[in-house]
Amino acid sequence: MQNNNIAVIILAAGYGKRLGGKNQKTLVKILGKPLLAHLIDTVKKCNPERIVTVVGFQKEKVIKELEGEDVIFVEQTRLLGTGHAVMTCRDVFFDFNGDILVLCGDVPFLSIKTIKKLQEVHNETSADCTVLTAIVDNPCGYGRIKRNSHDRIEKIIEEINANPGEKEIKEINAGVYVFNKEKLFECLSHIHLDPIKKEYYLTDVVELFIKTGKKVSTWTTPTPEETIGINTHQDLIKAEQYFLNLRRQK
Protein backbone atom coordinates (compact mmCIF):
# COMPACT_ATOMS: atom_id res chain seq x y z
CA MET A 1 0.00 0.00 0.00
CA GLN A 2 1.08 3.56 -0.65
CA ASN A 3 1.82 6.06 2.10
CA ASN A 4 -1.33 7.99 2.95
CA ASN A 5 0.57 11.25 3.41
CA ILE A 6 -0.45 13.66 0.67
CA ALA A 7 1.00 16.97 -0.49
CA VAL A 8 -0.26 19.19 -3.29
CA ILE A 9 1.35 21.01 -6.21
CA ILE A 10 -0.83 23.53 -8.05
CA LEU A 11 0.44 24.78 -11.40
CA ALA A 12 -0.26 28.51 -11.79
CA ALA A 13 2.62 29.94 -13.77
CA GLY A 14 1.38 30.12 -17.37
CA TYR A 15 0.31 33.01 -19.56
CA GLY A 16 -3.22 31.96 -20.46
CA LYS A 17 -2.81 33.14 -24.04
CA ARG A 18 -6.30 32.08 -25.14
CA LEU A 19 -7.78 34.34 -22.46
CA GLY A 20 -5.81 37.27 -23.84
CA GLY A 21 -2.53 36.66 -22.04
CA LYS A 22 -2.67 40.06 -20.30
CA ASN A 23 -3.65 38.73 -16.89
CA GLN A 24 -2.80 35.61 -14.90
CA LYS A 25 -5.69 33.32 -15.82
CA THR A 26 -5.76 31.51 -12.47
CA LEU A 27 -6.80 34.86 -10.96
CA VAL A 28 -9.81 35.26 -13.24
CA LYS A 29 -12.78 35.58 -10.91
CA ILE A 30 -15.93 33.50 -10.88
CA LEU A 31 -18.62 34.85 -8.58
CA GLY A 32 -16.11 37.25 -7.05
CA LYS A 33 -13.40 34.69 -6.27
CA PRO A 34 -10.28 33.71 -8.27
CA LEU A 35 -10.17 30.27 -9.87
CA LEU A 36 -7.06 29.45 -7.84
CA ALA A 37 -8.74 30.34 -4.55
CA HIS A 38 -11.70 28.06 -5.37
CA LEU A 39 -9.27 25.20 -5.96
CA ILE A 40 -7.25 25.83 -2.79
CA ASP A 41 -10.46 25.83 -0.72
CA THR A 42 -11.16 22.36 -2.09
CA VAL A 43 -7.72 20.81 -1.61
CA LYS A 44 -7.51 22.05 1.98
CA LYS A 45 -10.36 19.63 2.75
CA CYS A 46 -8.06 16.66 2.17
CA ASN A 47 -5.68 17.98 4.86
CA PRO A 48 -2.51 17.96 2.76
CA GLU A 49 0.84 18.04 4.51
CA ARG A 50 1.71 21.09 2.38
CA ILE A 51 0.35 23.02 -0.58
CA VAL A 52 2.88 24.28 -3.12
CA THR A 53 1.85 26.75 -5.80
CA VAL A 54 4.11 27.21 -8.82
CA VAL A 55 4.10 30.84 -9.94
CA GLY A 56 5.68 32.61 -12.89
CA PHE A 57 3.73 35.04 -15.04
CA GLN A 58 2.46 37.89 -12.81
CA LYS A 59 3.72 36.05 -9.73
CA GLU A 60 3.33 39.12 -7.52
CA LYS A 61 -0.41 39.24 -8.22
CA VAL A 62 -0.85 35.55 -7.41
CA ILE A 63 1.10 35.85 -4.16
CA LYS A 64 -0.87 38.93 -3.13
CA GLU A 65 -4.22 37.31 -3.98
CA LEU A 66 -3.37 34.32 -1.78
CA GLU A 67 -2.10 36.42 1.12
CA GLY A 68 -2.98 34.70 4.38
CA GLU A 69 -3.21 31.23 2.84
CA ASP A 70 -0.85 28.53 4.14
CA VAL A 71 0.82 28.07 0.77
CA ILE A 72 4.45 27.65 -0.30
CA PHE A 73 5.31 29.54 -3.48
CA VAL A 74 7.89 28.23 -5.95
CA GLU A 75 8.87 30.36 -8.93
CA GLN A 76 9.22 28.87 -12.40
CA THR A 77 11.61 31.46 -13.83
CA ARG A 78 11.44 30.01 -17.35
CA LEU A 79 8.04 28.77 -18.53
CA LEU A 80 9.16 25.48 -20.04
CA GLY A 81 6.02 23.43 -19.51
CA THR A 82 4.25 21.40 -16.86
CA GLY A 83 7.04 18.87 -16.38
CA HIS A 84 9.55 21.65 -15.77
CA ALA A 85 7.11 23.39 -13.41
CA VAL A 86 6.84 20.31 -11.19
CA MET A 87 10.60 19.78 -11.28
CA THR A 88 11.13 23.27 -9.85
CA CYS A 89 9.39 22.04 -6.67
CA ARG A 90 11.88 19.26 -6.00
CA ASP A 91 13.80 21.00 -3.20
CA VAL A 92 10.59 21.87 -1.35
CA PHE A 93 9.88 18.14 -0.92
CA PHE A 94 13.31 17.00 0.26
CA ASP A 95 11.88 16.11 3.70
CA PHE A 96 8.51 14.76 2.52
CA ASN A 97 7.69 11.08 2.19
CA GLY A 98 4.37 10.29 0.60
CA ASP A 99 2.32 11.01 -2.49
CA ILE A 100 1.95 14.27 -4.41
CA LEU A 101 -1.34 15.43 -5.89
CA VAL A 102 -0.68 17.59 -8.95
CA LEU A 103 -3.39 19.98 -10.17
CA CYS A 104 -3.81 22.82 -12.66
CA GLY A 105 -4.76 26.18 -11.20
CA ASP A 106 -7.24 26.86 -14.00
CA VAL A 107 -9.39 23.79 -13.23
CA PRO A 108 -11.34 25.15 -10.25
CA PHE A 109 -14.35 22.84 -9.97
CA LEU A 110 -12.72 19.61 -8.95
CA SER A 111 -14.68 18.16 -6.03
CA ILE A 112 -13.18 16.87 -2.80
CA LYS A 113 -15.12 13.66 -3.46
CA THR A 114 -13.19 13.15 -6.70
CA ILE A 115 -9.84 13.95 -5.09
CA LYS A 116 -10.49 11.41 -2.33
CA LYS A 117 -11.63 8.81 -4.86
CA LEU A 118 -8.45 9.33 -6.86
CA GLN A 119 -6.40 8.80 -3.68
CA GLU A 120 -8.43 5.72 -2.85
CA VAL A 121 -7.83 4.15 -6.27
CA HIS A 122 -4.15 5.05 -6.02
CA ASN A 123 -3.83 3.29 -2.67
CA GLU A 124 -6.02 0.27 -3.44
CA THR A 125 -4.12 -0.51 -6.65
CA SER A 126 -0.71 0.17 -5.07
CA ALA A 127 -0.04 2.55 -7.95
CA ASP A 128 3.02 4.71 -8.50
CA CYS A 129 0.86 7.15 -10.48
CA THR A 130 -2.89 7.56 -10.84
CA VAL A 131 -4.41 9.74 -13.55
CA LEU A 132 -7.85 11.36 -13.48
CA THR A 133 -9.65 11.01 -16.81
CA ALA A 134 -13.02 12.08 -18.20
CA ILE A 135 -15.18 11.12 -21.18
CA VAL A 136 -16.28 14.19 -23.13
CA ASP A 137 -18.16 14.84 -26.36
CA ASN A 138 -15.66 17.45 -27.54
CA PRO A 139 -12.10 16.50 -26.55
CA CYS A 140 -10.48 19.26 -28.61
CA GLY A 141 -7.62 20.90 -26.76
CA TYR A 142 -7.10 18.10 -24.25
CA GLY A 143 -4.57 15.29 -24.06
CA ARG A 144 -6.07 11.92 -25.11
CA ILE A 145 -5.84 8.73 -23.07
CA LYS A 146 -4.49 5.96 -25.29
CA ARG A 147 -5.19 2.46 -23.97
CA ASN A 148 -3.83 -0.92 -25.01
CA SER A 149 -5.79 -4.08 -25.87
CA HIS A 150 -6.12 -4.86 -22.14
CA ASP A 151 -7.74 -1.45 -21.54
CA ARG A 152 -4.73 -0.24 -19.58
CA ILE A 153 -3.37 3.25 -20.12
CA GLU A 154 -0.50 3.23 -22.59
CA LYS A 155 0.27 6.93 -22.89
CA ILE A 156 -1.23 10.42 -22.87
CA ILE A 157 -1.09 12.10 -26.26
CA GLU A 158 -1.12 15.89 -26.30
CA GLU A 159 -3.50 17.45 -28.82
CA ILE A 160 -0.65 18.98 -30.81
CA ASN A 161 1.04 15.56 -31.20
CA ALA A 162 -2.11 13.52 -31.91
CA ASN A 163 -2.78 11.99 -35.33
CA PRO A 164 -6.32 12.16 -36.82
CA GLY A 165 -7.32 8.80 -35.33
CA GLU A 166 -6.05 9.71 -31.87
CA LYS A 167 -7.93 13.01 -31.99
CA GLU A 168 -11.16 10.97 -32.18
CA ILE A 169 -10.53 9.53 -28.70
CA LYS A 170 -13.14 10.87 -26.25
CA GLU A 171 -11.31 9.98 -23.04
CA ILE A 172 -9.21 12.94 -21.94
CA ASN A 173 -6.53 13.68 -19.40
CA ALA A 174 -7.99 15.97 -16.74
CA GLY A 175 -4.53 17.21 -15.72
CA VAL A 176 -4.92 15.77 -12.21
CA TYR A 177 -2.51 13.14 -10.91
CA VAL A 178 -1.36 11.39 -7.76
CA PHE A 179 2.33 10.46 -7.89
CA ASN A 180 4.72 8.61 -5.64
CA LYS A 181 7.06 11.47 -4.77
CA GLU A 182 10.38 9.65 -5.17
CA LYS A 183 9.49 8.08 -8.51
CA LEU A 184 8.00 11.32 -9.83
CA PHE A 185 11.18 13.34 -9.38
CA GLU A 186 13.34 10.46 -10.54
CA CYS A 187 11.44 10.22 -13.85
CA LEU A 188 11.20 13.99 -14.33
CA SER A 189 14.97 14.12 -14.69
CA HIS A 190 14.72 11.79 -17.71
CA ILE A 191 12.01 13.41 -19.86
CA HIS A 192 12.91 15.32 -23.02
CA LEU A 193 11.97 18.67 -24.50
CA ASP A 194 9.00 18.37 -26.86
CA PRO A 195 10.32 19.22 -30.35
CA ILE A 196 7.15 21.08 -31.36
CA LYS A 197 6.24 23.18 -28.33
CA LYS A 198 9.73 23.30 -26.79
CA GLU A 199 8.31 22.33 -23.40
CA TYR A 200 8.73 19.49 -20.94
CA TYR A 201 5.37 17.71 -20.57
CA LEU A 202 4.32 16.18 -17.28
CA THR A 203 2.36 13.69 -19.39
CA ASP A 204 5.68 12.27 -20.63
CA VAL A 205 6.37 11.14 -17.06
CA VAL A 206 3.28 8.92 -17.21
CA GLU A 207 4.58 7.22 -20.37
CA LEU A 208 8.01 6.82 -18.80
CA PHE A 209 6.44 5.24 -15.70
CA ILE A 210 4.74 2.68 -17.94
CA LYS A 211 7.84 1.97 -20.02
CA THR A 212 9.95 1.38 -16.89
CA GLY A 213 7.47 -1.02 -15.31
CA LYS A 214 5.93 1.28 -12.74
CA LYS A 215 2.24 0.88 -11.91
CA VAL A 216 -0.07 3.47 -13.48
CA SER A 217 -3.78 3.48 -12.65
CA THR A 218 -6.63 5.66 -13.84
CA TRP A 219 -10.00 6.71 -12.52
CA THR A 220 -12.67 8.23 -14.74
CA THR A 221 -14.89 10.85 -13.14
CA PRO A 222 -18.63 10.39 -13.78
CA THR A 223 -18.87 14.20 -13.69
CA PRO A 224 -16.74 15.45 -16.59
CA GLU A 225 -17.97 19.01 -16.01
CA GLU A 226 -15.71 19.27 -12.97
CA THR A 227 -12.65 18.94 -15.20
CA ILE A 228 -13.48 22.09 -17.17
CA GLY A 229 -10.30 24.07 -17.79
CA ILE A 230 -10.59 27.81 -18.25
CA ASN A 231 -8.80 28.51 -21.51
CA THR A 232 -11.25 30.70 -23.43
CA HIS A 233 -13.95 33.25 -22.65
CA GLN A 234 -16.50 30.64 -23.65
CA ASP A 235 -15.03 28.26 -21.05
CA LEU A 236 -15.42 31.03 -18.48
CA ILE A 237 -19.11 31.45 -19.26
CA LYS A 238 -19.67 27.68 -19.03
CA ALA A 239 -17.74 27.52 -15.77
CA GLU A 240 -19.77 30.32 -14.18
CA GLN A 241 -22.99 28.49 -15.08
CA TYR A 242 -21.64 25.23 -13.71
CA PHE A 243 -20.63 26.91 -10.46
CA LEU A 244 -24.07 28.50 -10.09
CA ASN A 245 -25.70 25.10 -10.63
CA LEU A 246 -23.47 23.59 -7.93
CA ARG A 247 -24.51 26.29 -5.49
CA ARG A 248 -28.18 25.69 -6.22
CA GLN A 249 -27.75 21.95 -5.60
CA LYS A 250 -26.14 22.63 -2.24
CATH, domain 6-131+174-224, list 3.90.550.10, 3.30.70.1140, 3.90.105.10, 3.40.50.300: 3.90.550.10
pTM of the model: 0.92
Give the tens place of pLDDT for each residue, 75-100: 999 999 999 999 999 999 999 999 99
Give the per-residue pLDDT at 32: 84
Domain ranges of the chain: 6-131+174-224
Task: Give the pLDDT score at 109.
Answer: 85
Segments in the chain below pLDDT 70: 1-4, 16-22, 250
Note the pLDDT of residue 235: 76
* Residue 4, pLDDT score: 52
Q: What is the 3-state secondary structure (H, E, C) of the chain?
A: CCCCCEEEEEEECCCCHHHCCCCCHHHCEECCEEHHHHHHHHHHHHCCCCEEEEEECEHHHHHHHCCCCCCEEEECCCCCCHHHHHHCCHHHHCCCCCEEEEEECCCCCCCHHHHHHHHHHHHHCCCCEEEEEEECCCCCCCCEEEECCCCCEEEEECHHHCCHHHHCCCEEEEEEEEEEHHHHHHHHCCCCCCCCCCCCCCHHHHHHHHHCCCCEEEEECCCHHHHCCCCCHHHHHHHHHHHHHHHHHC
